[in-house]
Structure 1
Amino acid sequence: MSTAREVMQPNPECVRTEETAADAARKMARLGVGALPICGKDNKVKGVVTDRDLVIKVVAQGRDAGTFPAGDLNQQEAVTIGADDSSEEALRLMSAHRIRRLPVIDQQRLVGIIAVSDLARSVPEPRVGDLMESLSAS
């Protein structure tokens, strides 16, 4: 069985809580990604912001993305996985919390991120199908 470290994308960038929603959007565009971990001044993961969050919580609400704090885009306590935990645990967490991206930490430091596509390459197909079903359920 593979570990989170073996399936993750290493060295992810994060948006800092004190940065703005516009900073998050620019980073996503530069990196070609649809989500970024949110990290605090203590370098711990506080959450994940998605391009959808930016649209729904900032643009659609008429807020100024240049002043809206990225830290305010946290949904709740961050869901993370340890780097040495199994990919099966990553699958379980993503299904249980209905999330598409999972920050990977090692001693509370962000070291990677796992996306659904990363698990699709490493976990048996029926299990990934279960994850996709949980993500698409309303």
Structure 2
Amino acid sequence: MDIGETGVKARDVMHEGVQCIGEHESLRVASQMMCDLGVGALPICGDDDRLKGIVTDRDIVVQCCAHGGDIDQTTAGELARGLVWVDADASLEEALFKMEQNHVKRLPVVERHRLAGIISEADLAKELPDNKLAEFVHRVYALD
């Protein structure tokens, strides 16, 4: 999607104050955190305080519950795969490209090797014109 060079950086759009779930915490703990925070996804951070992935409410249902998994025994880290992220100084255009190419609706923002925030569709809705937001949504939800 070409939105032109806006000069807007990932840090300008991201939601700050994101809480991580520890990679060794259970999916029950992750579910409770999501409920308490009113969110559908949590970044997963390792013992080294580095970003390991993201777990979504859908991941918990599809990858654990639907297969008879135990949400008290399965850890958030077990669902951490294929991490996609963007540097805080990256352009909004780069962030959108990564989200579209990887069909992700939430993109962690990293600064100095640490999680700084996350960009969600709601954050983009505040920044993009309606026609560009519609194009983004179409591309993220499109099947390869």
Q: Same fold (TM over 0.5)?
A: yes
Point out where structure 1 has 5 or more consecutive residues left out of the alignment: none
Post-superposition CA distance 1:69-127 (Å, at most 9, x none): 11001132x11111111111111110010000000110110010100121121134333
Does residue 73 in structure 1 map to residue 79 in structure 2? yes
1:36 touches 1:50 (CA, 8 Å); kept in 2? yes
1:38 touches 1:71 (CA, 8 Å); kept in 2? yes
2:101 touches 2:140 (CA, 8 Å); kept in 1? no
Root-mean-square deviation over aligned CA pairs = 1.2
Aligned-partner SS, 2:64? helix
Point out where structure 2 has 5 or more consecutive residues left out of the alignment: 1-6
Counterpart position of 1:84:
89
Give the TM-score normalised by structure 2.
Answer: 0.90
2:47 and 2:81 map into 1 onto residues whose CA distance is 18
Give the TM-score normalised by structure 1.
Answer: 0.94
What is the identity percentage for the equivalent residue pairs of Structure 1 and Structure 2? 41
1:128 to 122, 125, 133: 133
Does residue 46 in structure 1 map to residue 52 in structure 2? yes
Post-superposition CA distance 1:4-62 (Å, at most 9, x none): 11111101001111111111101000000000011111111111110000001111111
2:138 and 2:15 map into 1 onto residues whose CA distance is 23
How many residues are aligned here? 137
